[in-house]
């Protein structure tokens, strides 16, 4: 019997938590994945007639656990702990009892551990993302391969190897200390944001798959926030992703060219996502512990608050970039601060601030496009043109290249007018 889409949706929602709990139970990702599969098969047999349990996740965890213990006992005659409960019975009372067996704080560490396994430092970033998509998100190998533009066979091998490496974390099953938990959360937030960026940046696979990567990153951020509801940086992460994602329909023009924020049609922004991002960042800032995600989300919020781009509060944005420079002192942050400065004090002021970054960012595409734009505004079309041409050499995507070439034509026009 095929799974209906409603059942599939329940399985997808339950997957991260269920797989996390099963991974702790069996200390093995493959066994956990099989256990989850088995639980889903049983749900397909049972739920259509008996109704979907009120806590599908708890049902799937306990069914998967019991079915797998039975199988392991039969196959290997492994002696397992006898403290295990009986399988889920039918009826509302049995369901309630069953849900109570799931310890929510334990489940929280389970999910964190599962995601942390996927961002094992020995794995390349792409392998970390691929493993997370496969294990936590339940993506098919084919889809992951398409997202990263590699052959399915290659992706299959890479995920298998990545799983083996990740397994070394699975053995550290005790409850993490506060510091460990915080370090894990940091790593997992970083991975989630990088996954979002993988989908958001215009490189790589097909458009609809990239949007799925963004959706998945947002789901992971939601999951983390549900598990750690007081973590201001997790709120900031989700808010930041939502703000950026809200602009997806406005980012590319009908010819598929990248539209800068200031030129975007704001009516195309997803208002529900903007509203949710705004609520989350307000909520986060109440805690008075700003971090990089919160500050970046706050910057996005200021952009969204402007009824028209020319009404953007650049002073507030400049202040926020100055704050971001404190907690995340990178040349790229300074570059953005320079752009904000130029909006307040003019292109020359921005160019002046940029000078100190020219060495650190000499190979950075957006340094040259930002500099070129400021040079153009400062009445230096020749220098601007040279900077745009340098940018073209730094591997822009097709859309970016088209955008830069348009700017070059504009500079050439300005030169003639001189």
Partner 1 sequence: MQYAILIYANEGFFERLPPDEQDAAMDHHRQLQAEHGEKGTLGAVAKLMETSAAMTVRKRGDSVLVLDGPFAETKEQLLGLYILECASMDDAIEQAKKLPQGVAAYEVRPVGWGGGTIAEEEESH
Q: Supply the minimum distance, in Å, between the C-beta of residue 122 and partner 1.
A: 30
Pick the stretch among 23-31, 55-63, 306-314, 394-402 that binds partner 1 (CB under 8 A): 55-63
- What is the contact mask toward partner 1 in residues 259 to 288, using x (rule: CB under 8 A)? ----------------xx--xx--x--x--
d(CA 238, CA 77): 46
Kindly tell me which of 138 and 346 has the beta carbon lying closer to partner 1.
138
Kindly tell me which of 4 and 27 has the beta carbon lying closer to partner 1.
4
The answer to whether residue 56 forms part of the interface with partner 1 (CB under 8 A) is yes
- What is the contact mask toward partner 1 in residues 14 to 53, using x (rule: CB under 8 A)? x--x------------------------------------
The answer to whether residue 238 forms part of the interface with partner 1 (CB under 8 A) is yes
d(CA 155, CA 178): 35
Kindly tell me which of 248 and 407 has the beta carbon lying closer to partner 1.
248
The answer to whether residue 225 forms part of the interface with partner 1 (CB under 8 A) is yes
HEC profile for the chain? CCCCHHHHHHHHHHHHHHHHHHHHHHCCHHHHHHHHHHHHHHHHHHHHHHCCCCCHHHHHHHHHHHHHHHHHHHHHCCCCCCCCCCCCCCCHHHHHHHHHCCCHHHHHHHHHHHHHHHCCCCCCHHHHHHHHHHHCCCCCHHHHHHHCCCCHHHHHHHHHHHHHHHHHHHCCCCCCCHHHHHHHHHHHHHHHHHHHHHHHCCCCCCHHHHHHHHHHHHHHHHHHHHHCCCCHHHHHHHHHHHHHHHCHHHHECCCCCECCHHHCCHHHCCHHHHHHHHHHHHHHHHCCCCCHHHHHHHHHHHHHHCCCHHHCCHHHHHHHHHHHHHHCCCHHHHHHHHHHHHHHHCHHHHHHHHHCCCCCCCCCHHHHHHHHHHHHHCCCHHHHHHHHHHHHCCCCCHHHHHHHHHHHHHHHHHHHHC
Provide the residue count of the chain: 418
Pick the stretch among 170-178, 197-205, 206-214, 223-231 that binds partner 1 (CB under 8 A): 223-231
Q: Supply the minimum distance, in Å, between the C-beta of residue 52 and partner 1.
A: 9
278: which residues sit within 8 A by CB, 6+ positions away? 239, 301, 304
Instruction: Indicate which single residue of 80, 226, 268, 327 sits in contact with partner 1 (rule: CB under 8 A).
Output: 226
Instruction: Indicate which single residue of 35, 67, 102, 295 sits in contact with partner 1 (rule: CB under 8 A).
Output: 102
Kindly tell me which of 78 and 226 has the beta carbon lying closer to partner 1.
226
Kindly tell me which of 234 and 341 has the beta carbon lying closer to partner 1.
234
Kindly tell me which of 145 and 232 has the beta carbon lying closer to partner 1.
232
The answer to whether residue 8 forms part of the interface with partner 1 (CB under 8 A) is yes
Q: Supply the minimum distance, in Å, between the C-beta of residue 238 and partner 1.
A: 7
The CA angle 304-201-235, to the nearest 5 degrees, is 50
Instruction: Indicate which single residue of 19, 43, 98, 107 sits in contact with partner 1 (rule: CB under 8 A).
Output: 107
Instruction: Indicate which single residue of 222, 319, 352, 390 sits in contact with partner 1 (rule: CB under 8 A).
Output: 222
- What is the contact mask toward partner 1 in residues 60 to 99, using x (rule: CB under 8 A)? ---------------------------------------x
Q: Supply the minimum distance, in Å, between the C-beta of residue 129 and partner 1.
A: 21
Kindly tell me which of 135 and 227 has the beta carbon lying closer to partner 1.
227
The answer to whether residue 227 forms part of the interface with partner 1 (CB under 8 A) is yes
Provide the binding-site residues for partner 1, judged by CB under 8 A: 5-6, 8-10, 12-14, 17, 54-58, 99, 102, 104, 107-108, 219, 222, 225-227, 229-230, 235, 238, 275-276, 279-280, 283, 286
């Amino acid at each position: 019997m095929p799974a209906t889409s409603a059942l599939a949706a329940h399985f997808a929602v339950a997957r991260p938590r269920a797989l996390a709990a099963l991974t702790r139970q069996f200390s093995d990702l493959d066994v956990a994945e099989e256990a989850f599969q088995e639980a889903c098969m049983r749900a397909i047999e049972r739920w259509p007639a008996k109704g979907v349990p009120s806590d599908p996740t708890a049902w799937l965890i306990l069914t998967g656990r019991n079915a797998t213990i039975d199988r392991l006992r039969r196959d290997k005659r492994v002696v397992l702990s006898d403290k295990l409960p009986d399988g889920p019975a039918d009826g509302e009372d049995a369901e309630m009892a069953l849900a109570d067996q799931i310890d929510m704080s334990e489940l929280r560490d389970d999910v964190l551990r599962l995601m942390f396994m996927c961002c094992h430092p020995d794995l390349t970033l792409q392998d970390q993302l691929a493993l997370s998509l496969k294990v936590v998100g339940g993506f098919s190998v084919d889809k992951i391969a398409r997202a990263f533009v590699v052959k399915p066979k290659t992706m299959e091998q890479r995920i298998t190897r990545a799983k083996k490496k990740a397994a070394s974390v699975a053995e550290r099953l005790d409850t993490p200390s506060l510091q460990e938990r915080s370090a894990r959360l940091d790593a997992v937030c970083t991975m989630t944001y990088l996954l979002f960026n993988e989908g958001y940046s215009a490189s790589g696979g097909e458009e609809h798959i990239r949007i799925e990567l963004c959706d998945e990153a947002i789901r992971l951020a939601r999951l983390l926030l549900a598990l750690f509801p007081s973590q201001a940086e997790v709120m900031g992460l989700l808010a930041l992703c939502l703000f950026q994602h809200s602009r997806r329909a406005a980012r590319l023009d009908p010819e598929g060219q990248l539209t800068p924020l200031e030129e975007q049609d704001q009516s195309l922004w997803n208002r529900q996502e903007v509203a949710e991002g705004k609520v989350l960042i307000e909520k986060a800032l109440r805690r008075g512990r700003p971090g990089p995600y919160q500050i970046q989300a706050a910057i996005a919020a200021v952009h969204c608050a402007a009824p028209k781009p020319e009404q953007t509060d650049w002073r507030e944005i400049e202040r926020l970039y100055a704050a971001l420079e404190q907690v995340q002192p990178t040349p790229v942050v300074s570059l953005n601060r320079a752009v904000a400065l130029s909006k307040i004090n003019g292109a020359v002021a921005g160019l002046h601030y940029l000078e100190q970054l020219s060495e650190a960012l000499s190979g950075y595409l957006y340094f040259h496009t930002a500099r070129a734009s400021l040079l153009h505004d400062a009445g230096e079309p020749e220098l601007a043109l040279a900077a745009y041409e340098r940018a073209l050499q730094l591997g822009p995507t097709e859309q970016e290249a088209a955008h830069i070439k348009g700017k070059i034509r504009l500079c050439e026009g300005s030169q003639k007018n001189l």
